[in-house]
Every structure is written in structure tokens, then in C-alpha cells.
Amino acid sequence: MIKNIIIDFKRTIYDPDNNTLLENALDGLKFLKEKEFYVRLVGKGVESEIISILQRLDIKSFFDEICISDDKEKFFNKVDNPSSWLVIGDRAQKEILFGGQLGMNTLWLKNGKFSNEEPLPSQKPPDHVVSAWSEIIEIIKKF
């Protein structure tokens, strides 16, 4: 049973090109909080800048853990019972690959800049493929 969620920051909830949340991402974060999922935000970049963005958008409180590093992959290894985790990301060859390798459930938000980046032939395919947060919410409702 899924109880924990890893969400990638850039282009999964936040559009860095327009400095806004993706459509329905806020609804998704509210839903996850309401259903008491443990939510870990992972991202690559300067931590103080990302924290500032989270505060400006008033979404920092939706995350139980915020993990920012140029080596965000290390935050995927910090889990007990991988089958209780869902990874949500926009990069088939990054977040979805890492989650799948560790035995986590994966949900690929195939949207935007990396939507043409297909999974590698050798990797476990994503468990779910969606193009919008409204679809993510509907999938998570089934957990």
C-alpha cells in the first residue's frame, strides 16, 4: 500500500520557465496532505533558492521533507519498504529510472520539456504515465 511519495520539483510541480506551479499541482498537494501521505520533495539546484520559491508560492508546508542537492538520486535510497513509495517525476531516465530500480511504484508526468525522453530499453517501465496533475490525483485516489 502506498503511504509515501517522492515528488520531483522542477517541471513536476513547478514550471521554472514561467515561475508558476503546474496546472492542478496545488490541488494535488492539498489532496496528498488531506490523505496524510508522507511527501518528500526532491530537487536539483541551490537549496536556498528553491526554499524561497516554495515560500513565495506558499507550498512549503505540504512537504514533510525537502531534499535539495545536485545529486538528488541519493534521496531515493533513503527509504524503508520501497513498495510503499510512489515516485512522481517528469524524467523517465532520472526519477522514474531511480524509483523503478529500487522497487518503488512510479508515475511519469509525461509533459513539457522532457516529454519525449522515453524510458531506456533496459529500465522497468513506469507503472503509470499521465500528462496532467488532474490524472495524478485520480490515480492516487485508487491507493
For the chain, the C-alpha Rg in angstroms (whole number) is: 14
Does the pLDDT at position 126 exceed 80?
A: yes
> What stretches of 51-93 adopt beta strand conformation (E)?
65-68, 85-89
**What's the pLDDT tens digit per position in 23-73?**
999 999 999 999 999 999 999 999 999 999 999 999 999 999 999 988 767
Q: Give the pLDDT of residue 75.
A: 78
Digit-coded pLDDT (tens) for 78-90? 788 999 999 999 9
Contact (Cβ atoms closer than 8 angstroms) between residue 105 and residue 125: no
pTM, rounded to two decimals: 0.95
Query: What is the rounded average pLDDT for all residues in the chain?
Result: 94
